[in-house]
Structure 1
């Protein structure tokens, strides 16, 4: 039974949300060595590393799995979570034949949505476990908040996510930062009129009735919305301390004369050579042309997994979905949707029946 004490540095799970245009993506790009899963093309104006824009929920999950397995960065950024949630909704609607995500069946569809989002958060926790920070960005919106023990209601900023998924994201995070423009109200003493001025970009790091925020780094309640304001605390929280090298008694007791004799007897000590690091061979580039009759979400999954057009066609034919002479243009949309939402099973079929 082992008992330890002290601060244990570890990668951080960070959520950054704020009003439109405040600079969430730019802020996230300044975390250590980031790679973006850009769900809404918000990084196109930044010189950053990014995956192809995910066109399906399955594609996004595979990108997260790739980061865990290959560790191509020090920080994984999902930008933004609300657009990722939309991919998840589309996935569930296609998979279950729903027209919308609503409260039908006592909220069963929202429960299914929160289950999928929870699965994504579990994958992101696995990314944390291999030593990679995770940053999630999201938009903010105003919702009416009613307290049962108080009179009236008030507006508060919240993550722009469904009511069952927003708490999951907040609880998962080590740090939730809310970014907004700070506006000052000036009063004209002569006319008693008021006008707004300012517009400084700030971030809030602790909870208030009108917004959600938290941190475990001891940050001030309010800071300018700049990564440099949290950089030192973030590095301290994620970087293990370098232990001092102990000096052995034998080294302390050797007189200079004895040390010279030892050197003469042993001869020159060759410099220590680092062990060679084996670099895995890069995967061959997938160059096959995919016809436009195959939907984009299927095409993207095919590229990631190096699935050929012939393999996807044979899956449709040998799987008994369509007659063997059916042209690609006549494959119905609902069959493509089925293959996309069951992509893991599609891969299993291809590997087990077509790649023997």
Structure 2
């Protein structure tokens, strides 16, 4: 058996959470060569590289796979925020099982499916770590009532805004997966405003990062960080400067652009050094009636440059709808649960059909 001694330098798994607007996204921009998956569309004022806002769970997973292929170009993937990604996960689970709500499964079964699907995403993010890409998950905070089993009484504490229902288990998964869980909040203190000390007002408000566990919040780290420090990346830089991901040479940033092959003549497109987010086998294919197709399916069609007629062909071959039925007339549950939910299989069938074209 091979024995590995000493520290192993790897990319880092980081969770940043706190109240809205406190600066989580701004802090994430300081990590090595970041690229954002902006699930809530809130980074428009930041000068960063970002992928299109995912309109489905399948689109989010494909974006993560694309980032993995960019190892050496990007040093950090930032998902902003992971609690909005959880909403996409629940929607995907419901669509796959033809349910209107995660509660419709009954007896907490929906949360079991959601946990399994969310765990697959974390496994994909772990693959990025192995490829040398740091992963930063931004999340909002929520205040919950907490009661320890061996104590009387309850108290409020900050937690990840994941799994707001008691049956959900995604928050625990994320905290266990991460190397660092950093809680960001305003540090305030009260000052008496009367001689008797009965009236007080809050002062301070310095943005502070908390890196260790406290009864009032979740936090952890494996790098000997102080219990608290100001919201400044310089306090974290040494961790990433010594990691394998941070030592990779910076190169020109690619663009995630499904229209690239159309904007260049065929001979120039082949010579381009910019990698495509997808590798379509029919570079001229485009949806003809995009405005009438749900965004979750349209985004996937645009990424892979798939025509309406190609979707209609594979759907008719499986016997779901006649060949001449417009996609806009498909049942929304069928689009979400079959076409979007099983997109890799659908796209595979389209690629096989393209091989059999007479030209």
1:23-62 pair list within 5 angstroms: 23-62=23-62
**CA deviation digits over 1:41-68, x for unaligned, max 9?**
1111111001111000000000111111
Q: CA deviation at 1:286?
A: 6.6
> Is 1:204 equivalent to 2:210 in the alignment?
yes
**CA deviation digits over 1:23-47, x for unaligned, max 9?**
1111111100000111001111111
Contact 1:217 1:237 in 2 (8 A): no
Report the equivalent of 1:302: 301
Bigger mean CA deviation after superposition, 2-11 or 108-117 = 2-11
Q: CA deviation at 1:189?
A: 5.4
Report the equivalent of 2:141: 140
Q: Give the Cα–Cα distance (whole angstroms) in 2 for the partners of residues 322 and 12 of structure 1.
A: 47
**CA deviation digits over 1:300-326, x for unaligned, max 9?**
111222222221122222232112232
Contact 2:308 2:327 in 1 (8 A): no
Q: CA RMSD in A?
A: 2.1
Report the equivalent of 1:151: 152
TM-score w.r.t. structure 1 length?
A: 0.84
Q: Give the Cα–Cα distance (whole angstroms) in 2 for the partners of residues 290 and 153 of structure 1.
A: 58
Report the equivalent of 1:332: 331
Segments of structure 2 that go 5 or more residues without pairing to the other structure are 248-270
Secondary structure of the 1:213 match is coil
Bigger mean CA deviation after superposition, 23-32 or 321-330 = 321-330
Q: Give the Cα–Cα distance (whole angstroms) in 1 for the partners of residues 284 and 206 of structure 2.
A: 47
Report the equivalent of 2:180: 175
Secondary structure of the 1:102 match is helix
Segments of structure 1 that go 5 or more residues without pairing to the other structure are 242-277
- How has the CA–CA distance of structure 1 residues 330 and 16 changed in structure 2, closer, same or farther, with 3 Å as cutoff? same
Q: Give the Cα–Cα distance (whole angstroms) in 2 for the partners of residues 343 and 157 of structure 1.
A: 37
Report the equivalent of 1:125: 126
**CA deviation digits over 1:298-352, x for unaligned, max 9?**
1111122222222112222223211223234322222212211111221122122
**CA deviation digits over 1:216-235, x for unaligned, max 9?**
11110001112122112332
**CA deviation digits over 1:178-218, x for unaligned, max 9?**
00111111123524221111111101000011111011111
Report the equivalent of 1:91: 92
Bigger mean CA deviation after superposition, 282-291 or 218-227 = 282-291
> Is 1:232 equivalent to 2:238 in the alignment?
yes
TM-score w.r.t. structure 2 length?
A: 0.84
Contact 1:217 1:234 in 2 (8 A): no
- How has the CA–CA distance of structure 1 residues 92 and 239 changed in structure 2, closer, same or farther, with 3 Å as cutoff? closer
- How has the CA–CA distance of structure 1 residues 322 and 289 changed in structure 2, closer, same or farther, with 3 Å as cutoff? closer
- How has the CA–CA distance of structure 1 residues 2 and 279 changed in structure 2, closer, same or farther, with 3 Å as cutoff? farther
